[in-house]
Structure 1
């Protein structure tokens, strides 16, 4: 956490590109992660720390569902926020190249913790923010 700075509203990092390897088929999957948390006691973390956490988890052979869950759980364990939410949207080459051969099909997973789970308006705010292009 960054000391000396207090913030008690949602922090959202959008469109973090990542690459990983499907542990079932040993083929890549890649996409974008959206990570949000609401600080507890005003404690925030450096924004690149969340991208680094995603990178570390994605480097090992993975399945997207576990990657999403592990990232949310890591945020909760280390930051102890009021809530955390992770949404990952990815394309799996195992779907594009083999089997059903459906290039462009995307898998979306989410992990919802704390206030994002218990307060629908907070969850919907995050989902609206990831849909918008604000710049």
Structure 2
């Protein structure tokens, strides 16, 4: 399953795109009143362009390739939780980072995902321009589609620099979002178990 890729581009066009991104950073420095030719900024356009490509690399990743066959048939129907997954993403409104923890749970029907693939799946969607609400939903819906479990629960707790460094400037604010699908939405007991296990210290 392909995950919202950018349109395919040839090598030559990719090279032009890279130069264009660096030039855009250079123009931004000029607009800010800086001198991009001074020593400390000479390589800044190149560094920023490289950084942005890494932080948005999820656009070019394929979920099927990320899972890489790590979906297994197992006779197990209890909850699987991978919690405290570090996430880093960019707010699409201000291009400022938000970061925190992601907790993912599902109750299998017939298949499970290799544990290390869950954080990789989170990164596919976190490494894009995002809002936290959509990121939470995308992770849950992708797992639901990939292995058809009885249900999926995802919780993200994150700090947003667009709220800390600017705007309302609230240093201790934390945004919490959740997506509950299947049995996690329909069964109070399952949802309560997930929330309890997330709160417990490892």
What TM-score results when the alignment is normalised by the length of structure 2? Answer: 0.64
**Structure 2 unaligned blocks of 5 or more:** 1-70
2:72 alignment partner in structure 1: 2
**Higher RCO (Cα < 8 Å, 6 or more apart):** 1
Which shifted more, 80-89 or 5-14?
5-14
1:99 alignment partner in structure 2: 167
Determine which structure has the larger helix proportion and give its number: 2
2:197 alignment partner in structure 1: 129
RMSD: 0.8
Residues 1-135 of structure 1 correspond to what in structure 2 (within 5 A)? 1-3=71-73, 5-41=74-110, 43-134=111-202
**Structure 1 unaligned blocks of 5 or more:** none
Instruction: Judge conservation of contact 1:6–1:44 (CA < 8 Å) in 2.
Output: no
* CA-to-aligned-CA distance 1:83-111 (integer Å, 9 cap, x gap): 00000000000000001101121000000
- Distance in 2 of aligned mates of 1:97 and 1:133: 30
Instruction: Judge conservation of contact 1:38–1:84 (CA < 8 Å) in 2.
Output: yes
- Distance in 2 of aligned mates of 1:51 and 1:18: 9
| Bigger Rg over Cα | 2
Deviation at 1:133, TM superposition (A): 1.1
